[in-house]
Amino acid sequence: MKPSNPPAIAFIGLGRMGRGIAGRLLGGGHALALYNRTPGKAGELRDAGALEAASIAQACAQREFVVTMLADDAALEAVALGPGGLRDSASPGTIHLVMGTHGVALVRALARAHADAGQVLVAAPVLGRPDAAAAGQLGIVAAGPAQAVQRCRPLFELIGRRVFEAGEQPEAATAIKLANNFMLGCALQGMAEGFSLVRKTGVDPQVLYDVMTEGLFAAPAYKIYGRLMVDQAYEQAGFTTRLALKDMNLVLAAGQDQQVPLPSVSLLRDRLLGAMAHGEAERDWAVLAREQARAAGLE
């Protein structure tokens, strides 16, 4: 049931994931103002009743929440702290809900900047692919002041299947998301190596896929990404090589900041760089299997 008087929201960042989340909020009855740095991505949402703002300031006007779903730290910093950005445009008391995957240091700095302006930052990076966003089935890792997180609950109920609360420091949610992504990357690299081994021995990779997914590895990560690897369907990009490399660099930076050696992430970063060098930046990061196959002399 839609709330009787849902709060107005500004939504910034209309990539595939952003459009899916914004559509859920709009469908939940929220008055939505949209802004994207690259024009032309608001069409369907605008036709469904959202306002397409001409600037960040216009998007933020009289909005209780500002949601950002941006690709990288540079974009978030520019949108939040640049001239005419969120910090300068949003009213005191506004909650900035950061739903993209960003660096621990930047989220910590943004929380301070918003606090100085009388605003609140809640980090709520999401777990899932764009189809899950459109279906309202994302996992959400949320961290920030308890009262602000509670105010975000009705939004989370529209967007996700479950909320994982990570505490009152926003960067805690960021650390959880980065750790989850690199553990997923380790699963992809393990599958890539396993598929290369069986291919080199003359075995159909489908056999290994069946053994994995009907045994100890009967989990979505292995089923979804293993299927992409067996079918070599790397054009079906739910999460691109370029974005994966960005995340692995953020993981390494977090490890350096906390003096945590992360040797597996270093390997993943190099494999992703190799895929980028082979022109596969916009393919799904399951293309790690092709990069491993090249190293094994299979391609």
Active site residues: 177
CA angle 91/97/100 to nearest 5° reads 140
Classify burial at 224, counting beta carbons within 10 Å of its beta carbon; exposed 0-12, middle 13-18, buried 19 or more.
middle
- Report the C-alpha gap between 186 and 183 in whole angstroms: 5
- Report the C-alpha gap between 105 and 110 in whole angstroms: 9
- Report the C-alpha gap between 291 and 203 in whole angstroms: 19
Residue 243 structure tokens: 């974005």
| DSSP state letter for 286 | G
Residues near 198 by beta carbon (within 8 Å), at least 6 away in sequence = 204, 205, 207, 208
Contact criterion met (CB below 8 Å) for 174 and 107 = yes
